[in-house]
Amino acid sequence: MGDTHLGATSYYLETYGCALNTADSDMIAGHLSARGAKRVLSPDEAHVIILNTCGVKEPTEDRIIHRLEELSKLARPIIIAGCLPVISLRRVQRAIPNYAAILGPQSIETLGLIVDRVMKGERGLLHLEPDTGSKLQFFKGPPGSVVCTVPICEGCLGSCTYCAVKFARGNVKSYSIKSLHDVVRPMSHCDLYINSFSRCHLFLNNNRLVRGVPAKRSTFRSSTYY
């Protein structure tokens, strides 16, 4: 699965939602680029179109559904990734019944194989199950930018009835200090220092302080101050 080579396949990637979704798109791009695929800036130039979706807010969901209906008119295979298929699969399928593939937010490791199968003519592929590996290994950061969002965990501690984050992302899972170090270190040439901690205190996008996320106590040093 990880060795799939995509040759000269070109792809167009469109992202909706939060900073975590933006980071997921960076991982998607890193994963596909490592397998020889080329990212293009227009859906008309692409062999395959990928939408990394969000379903947490209804206005965003409505906008994505409208966009899928627009893109379905193009003679291009379309892959729908991200949270929306997990939250509202039937609505996605109604909007674009001729979809090429649908993936969940934890299925990035499988994406290379899915794109390969799509390029060979397969359609209607559905893979919402989480992959076993860590998708953080594919993170490269946005090209040409000095700023990027590096996720340190995914999921939620709560179970709010009005929120779909827990449903889409599951329980909180923290990335290891080593994996974060491996991601950040190649991006910099200065000194990176992260303090020791035994409990994470994280600010999420809804501005609520989430306390008590377990993490392994660790200190490391490389070469950039943040």
Residue with tokens 């695929």: 37
Average pLDDT, integer, range 73-99: 95
pLDDT score of 225? 29
pLDDT score of 149? 80
pLDDT band at 104 (very low <50, low <70, confident <90, very high): very high
**pTM of the predicted protein model:** 0.79
Point out which residues pair with 211 in neighbouring strands. 201
Q: What's the domain range around 15? A: 10-127
When mean pLDDT is compared over 5-9, 70-74, 153-157, the highest value belongs to 70-74
Q: Which of 40-44, 50-54, 165-169, 203-207 has the lowest mean pLDDT?
A: 203-207
pLDDT above 80 for 202: no
Mean pLDDT of the residues in the chain = 81
Q: pLDDT digits over 32-58, tens only?
A: 998 999 999 999 999 999 999 998 888
Whether residue 57 is contained in a domain is answered as: yes
Q: Is 156 exposed, middle or buried (0-12, 13-18, 19+ CB in 10 A)?
A: buried
Q: How many domains does the chain have?
A: 1
> Rounded to whole angstroms, how far apart are CA atoms 38 and 207?
37
**3-state SS, residue 112:** helix
Share of the chain above pLDDT 70, in %: 80
Structure tokens at 177: 């200090």
Average pLDDT, integer, range 189-205: 41
pLDDT score of 11? 97
pLDDT above 70 for 193: no
CATH number for position 117: 3.40.50.12160
Residue 178: φ, ψ to 5°: -60, -45
| Angle between helical axes of 111-119 and 19-34 (0-180°, round to 10) | 60
Whether residue 164 is contained in a domain is answered as: no
pLDDT score of 159? 83
Whether residue 185 is contained in a domain is answered as: no
Whether residue 216 is contained in a domain is answered as: no
Whether residue 169 is contained in a domain is answered as: no
Whether residue 28 is contained in a domain is answered as: yes
Task: Tell me which of 190 and 49 has the higher pLDDT.
Answer: 49
Q: Which of 5-9, 29-33, 191-195 has the lowest mean pLDDT?
A: 191-195
Whether residue 173 is contained in a domain is answered as: no
Q: Which of 59-73, 149-163, 164-178, 194-208 has the lowest mean pLDDT?
A: 194-208
Task: Tell me which of 112 and 195 has the higher pLDDT.
Answer: 112
Whether residue 58 is contained in a domain is answered as: yes
Average pLDDT, integer, range 75-97: 95
pLDDT above 60 for 182: yes
> Rounded to whole angstroms, how far apart are CA atoms 111 and 33?
12
Q: pLDDT digits over 137-163, tens only?
A: 888 777 777 777 888 888 888 888 888
Nearest alpha carbon to residue 13 among 46, 60, 59, 55: 46
